[in-house]
Structure 1
Amino acid sequence: MTFSAPDSKTQTILAAAWAGFSAYGFRKTSMDDIARGAGMSRPALYLHFKNKEAIFRGLVASYYAEAAHEVAAALAQEGALSQRLARAFAAHGGETMEAMMSSAHGMELFEASMNVAGDMIEEGEAQLQAVYGRWLRAESARGQLQMTGEADALGGVFCACLKGIKHTSKSYESYRSGVAEFAALCARALAPLP
């Protein structure tokens, strides 16, 4: 599966759904709430999505498409290895992470993610792992970093550790701090030998 950017009407629906899910939680947000937030009738909403689970899956797809793009862009920027990793790891969670962790319904949204779109999360994480793997191979080939293992496996370690930080953080601030510490640690471990 390849994630692509949604059209403007779909973006409007997804934005309205995200606002509803953040404010009321997944279970309490209705298709009527989403339609109203998107400025359309409920029948018009059903022309785009069959139910709120499909809308939630659309949000997950949109998140991963954006994250893959932003992570790749952050890694491609100039700067110290630690800065590029810090920007990439921050982009991995993106604004969505802040919104989820700041919402009173954040835990419910995390649970809904796994229940409604677990397969898409797995696919999205694989895409992010591949982004990291490609970058690690290219930087290693240029002599910009040293690796002791295989690039795709290390990309998987990045993703797993970032997921661990997300699941153990009590607040968005502690999440950001954990991500920054992890980026610094990885930069030190990957820095080329003098």
Structure 2
Amino acid sequence: MSEPKDDTRQAAILDAAWQCFASYGFRKTAMDDIARAAGMSRPALYQHYRNKEDIFRSLAQNHFDEVAIAVRAALAKPGSAGTVLAEAFTAQGGRLIEAMVRSPHGMELIDTSRATSGDIAEAGEARLSEIYRDWLAAGQSVGRIDFEGSPEQVAATIAAALKGLKSAAKSFSGYQASLRRFAHLIGAGLEAAASSR
């Protein structure tokens, strides 16, 4: 992929591509569809991306970059552990997840994500686990929360549970409600463990 010459144009392409993927599915979306939705010619689109797999990988990378920033910001806010985690989990279940759950092509998009950008997802999820690990370690060091195991182990458990909630989601509102319930459950446990020390 060539270096983006215009961040605004790049964002327009990615937004247009996501709308096309969500509307038509990955397989049925053509580069012509994306170019038309972005308000540009197909040759101009090829100056930014080699193919739709390249676009999908950029979407995945942008998703994890945005989510990492949002999760870190949520965890930095004051509040009970459950409230803070609820905001972080909600930030993690961002617009990409919402679109996948709501799209009639959601399963195809999830499969495409695994096939074209599994490495990006793996790195992004590892980065999110590190953010939760750091939050857990900081909270434990000041006696605000406590838990059994290391911060890495608890962060890995949270990551696995969040994946499970995403896989089981039948609707986006149900998914968001599950995230909030899980956050308050974990938060209550972390705070109870700290108060019993």
TM-score of the superposition, structure 2-length normalised? 0.92
Structure with larger Rg = 2
SS of alignment partner, residue 36 of structure 2: helix
CA distance in structure 2 between the aligned counterparts of 1:7 and 1:33, rounded to whole angstroms: 20
Partner of 1:103: 103
SS at the partner of 2:93?
Answer: helix
Query: Is the CA contact (8 Å cut-off) linking 2:67 and 2:94 kept in structure 1?
Result: yes
- Give the structure 1 partner of residue 54 of structure 2: 54
Using the alignment, how far apart are the partners of 2:96 and 2:142 within structure 1?
A: 33
Asked if residue 193 in structure 1 is aligned to residue 195 in structure 2, the reply is yes
Corresponding residue for 1:32?
32
- Sequence identity percentage: 46
CA–CA separation in structure 1 for the residues paired with 2:147 and 2:44: 52
Q: Is the 8 A contact 2:132 2:155 kept in 1?
A: yes
* Counterpart in the other structure of 2:13: 13
Q: CA deviation at 1:52?
A: 0.2
Contact between 2:93 and 2:176, CA under 8 Å: does it hold in 1?
no
1:14-63 residue CA offsets vs partner (Å, 9 max, x unmatched): 10000000110111111011111111111111111100001000000000
Task: Write the deviation string for residues 40-92 of structure 1: whole angstroms up to 9, x where unpaired.
Answer: 11111111110000100000000000010000000101111111000001111
Aligned pairs (5 A) from 1:1-194: 7-191=7-191, 192-194=194-196
Secondary structure of 2:195's partner?
Answer: coil
Letter in 2 for 1:13: I
Q: TM-score, normalised by structure 1?
A: 0.94
How far residue 167 of structure 1 moved from its aligned partner, in angstroms, is: 0.4
C-alpha distance in 2, partners of 1:37/1:66? Answer: 23
* AA partner of residue 54 (structure 1): D
> Match for 2:51: what amino acid?
N
1:173, distance to aligned residue in structure 2 (A):
2.0
After superposing on structure 2, the runs of 4+ consecutive aligned residues of structure 1 that deviate more than 6 Å are none
Structure 2 gaps, min length 5: 1-5
Q: How many residues align?
A: 189
Alpha-carbon deviations, 1:113-171, whole Å to 9, x = none?
10111111101000100111111111111211112211122112111111100101211
Alpha-carbon deviation of 1:99? 1.4
Deviation of 1:7 (Å):
2.5
**Letter matched to residue 49 of structure 1:** Y
Gaps of 5+ in 1: 1-5
Write out per-residue CA displacement over residues 101-122 of structure 1, whole angstroms, 9 at most, x where no aligned residue: 1111111111111011111110
In structure 1, distance between residues paired with 2:135 and 2:47: 40
